[in-house]
Amino acid sequence: MAVNLLLGLQWGDEGKGKIVDVLTSKYDIIARFQGGPNAGHTLIFDGHKHVLHTIPSGIFHKNAMNLVGNGVVIDPVIFKKELENLEKFNLDIKSKLLISRKAHLILPTHRLLDAASETSKGKAKIGSTLKGIGPTYMDKTGRNGMRVGDLELDNWKEKYHALTEKHLNMLEFFKVEIEFDLQELEKEFFGAIEVLKQLTFIDSEEYLNEAIKNKKTILAEGAQGSMLDIDFGTYPYVTSSNTTAAGACTGLGVAPNKIGEVFGIFKAYTTRVGSGPFPTELFDEDGETMGRVGQEFGATTGRPRRCGWLDLVVLKYAVQISGVTQLIMMKGDVLSGFSTLKACTSYNYQGTEISHLPYNIEEHNVTPIYTEFKGWKQDLTGMTSAATMPKELNDYIKFIEDFVEVPIKIVSVGPDRKQTIIR
Ligand code: GDP
Ligand code: IMO
Ligand code: MG
């Protein structure tokens, strides 16, 4: 049996959490493969709203196993809070949640380094979520990191203290004022480690490959989005992991020939939170309407998300990098009432029209060229079948499908699990 992937195709927050939750009933295992508590995945059902950061979005289903893969970075403190938030739902987490021994740990000093790095950058800051993601992945690739499996060794505290010592020295290099009480942070951290240790640590690549042999169905849940990929995103305004399909192979230990369907998820418009180029960004009433109607505030940081028109150059690029086989379009309901919709179909790049994503997409290099569409007035949020969708929405969908040459199989028309139309 193959492993299916679900990936964000824009700058994150496409609605991955919602769709993983919708699809979980078809899967035996849901596995996160990269990112960490920088992610905020929202699920809404039965009148409850849940935001997950590190725990896979399949956790609410009775029969699915949930795995935090080796490519993920875990902050025990945030993880403990996530577990506490789930306590009231009696989910039997201990038997349903597995953690890879090879996943790296976010230490309190990683968070401090993130803050110091951002402060020292001033205006050029990345707009990081300040969860310590960059410094933790730096320690991973620098071969200094601490892994979950280390917690099973007797000398893990020595390792911890040596790494923390190094971080404290590094903090001084930044020459910025960061206030912290290490003793307090460590108390919280060590307490959270004890909670983490009550969960099951496994050699997850072995577990997944056995599961594949035994014909189990597996869905890999991406975090962030393709344009935040460390290699293919809008570098340096990106996150520190591979958010594209290849990241699922390295982040889970699953070979490329074991990947089946690649679900690519995108909003019917575009949002971005944090700094960095965003060619179709709107600074007018239309952008304001998208933000207000779409309630575009970060699920992790609460920051307002920047909003703009759909960028099909970006979408096509992301589809190509990850080999997307099916598209999922989110938040079409937010566009109800716009008399005209726009989608960027090429760029004016330094005076020449181009249809691919160039190296530089900053404002002074790129101006989007738009195709216009007639909007629809109908409220979509109560719709349950493709047959009732307005003609203008169908035209918009058809245009996107033809442009990127991949079918849109799911249209989401509201945040609730039930507000999902399968085409
Ligand atoms: P993720 O990080 O990709 O899981 O996405 P987030 O949870 O950060 O952001 C998506 C937001 O849009 C959440 O507040 C969802 O509840 C909401 N949402 C998801 N799908 C839809 C939809 O089709 N329509 C509307 N109006 N909201 C949606
Ligand atoms: P989900 O999984 C949207 C952005 C941050 C910042 C940049 C780097 O919910 O889609 P980091 O903390 O990773 O060093 O921040 O990436 N970012 C996200 N934006 N959704 C996310 O995750 C994000 N995770 C990180 O805002 O610009
Ligand atoms: Mg999110």
Task: State the pLDDT confidence band at 105, using cuts at 50, 70 and 90.
Answer: very high
Distance 381 CA to ligand 1 centre (A): 13
- As given in the structure block, the two tokens for residue 174 are 């930044």
From the list 233, 335, 324, the residue with the least C-alpha distance to 278 is 233
Number of neighbouring beta carbons within 10 Å of residue 195: 15
User: What atom in ligand 1 is closest to the CA of residue 51?
Assistant: 7
Alpha-carbon distance of 207 to 186, in angstroms, equals: 32
Nearest ligand to the C-alpha of residue 14?
Answer: 1
- As given in the structure block, the two tokens for residue 422 are 């399968």
Catalytic residues: 13, 41
pLDDT in tens, 268-278: 999 999 999 99
pLDDT in tens, 49-70: 999 999 999 999 999 999 999 9
pLDDT in tens, 214-248: 999 999 999 999 999 999 999 999 999 999 999 99
Alpha-carbon distance of 195 to 204, in angstroms, equals: 20
* Dihedral angle of Cα 146, 148, 152, 155, to the nearest 10 degrees: 10
Going along 326-389, which residue ranges are E strands? 326-330, 340-349, 352-354, 366-374
Distance 154 CA to ligand 1 centre (A): 43
pLDDT of residue 148: 98
Nearest ligand to the C-alpha of residue 294?
Answer: 1
Task: State the pLDDT confidence band at 282, using cuts at 50, 70 and 90.
Answer: very high
CB distance 111 to ligand 2 below 6 Å:
no
From the list 254, 243, 250, 196, the residue with the least C-alpha distance to 221 is 243
State the sign of the Cα–Cα–Cα–Cα dihedral 220, 7, 17, 52.
positive
Phi, psi values for residue 262, rounded to 5° = -120, 105
Distance 13 CA to ligand 1 centre (A): 7
User: What atom in ligand 1 is closest to the CA of residue 419?
Assistant: 23
Kindly list the distances between the CA atom of residue 419 and the CA atoms of 263, 339, 384, 422, in Å, as whole numbers in the listed order: 18, 23, 7, 10
Q: CB under 8 Å to 112, separation ≥6 — which residues?
A: 132, 167, 171, 178, 180
Alpha-carbon distance of 391 to 396, in angstroms, equals: 9
How much of the chain exceeds pLDDT 70, in percent? 100
pLDDT in tens, 341-398: 999 999 999 999 999 999 999 989 999 999 999 999 999 999 999 999 999 999 999 9
* Nearest protein CA to atom 27 of ligand 1, as residue: 415
Mean of pLDDT values over 1-29? 96
Angle at 194 between CA 191 and CA 198, to 5 degrees: 150
Alpha-carbon distance of 200 to 193, in angstroms, equals: 13
pLDDT of residue 300: 87
How much of the chain exceeds pLDDT 90, in percent? 98
Going along 251-296, which residue ranges are E strands? 259-267, 270-272
Number of neighbouring beta carbons within 10 Å of residue 376: 22
Mean pLDDT, the chain, whole residue set: 97
Nearest ligand to the C-alpha of residue 273?
Answer: 2
CB distance 131 to ligand 2 below 6 Å:
yes
* Nearest protein CA to atom 14 of ligand 2, as residue: 128
* Nearest protein CA to atom 27 of ligand 2, as residue: 274
Q: Flag whether pLDDT at 1 surpasses 90.
A: no
How far is Cα of residue 159 from the mean position of the Cα atoms in its chain? 30
Residues 254-273 as b/e (b if ≥16 CB within 10 A, e otherwise) read beeebbeebbbbbbbbbbbb
User: What atom in ligand 2 is closest to the CA of residue 38?
Assistant: 24
User: Cα-atom radius of gyration of the chain, to the nearest Å?
Assistant: 21
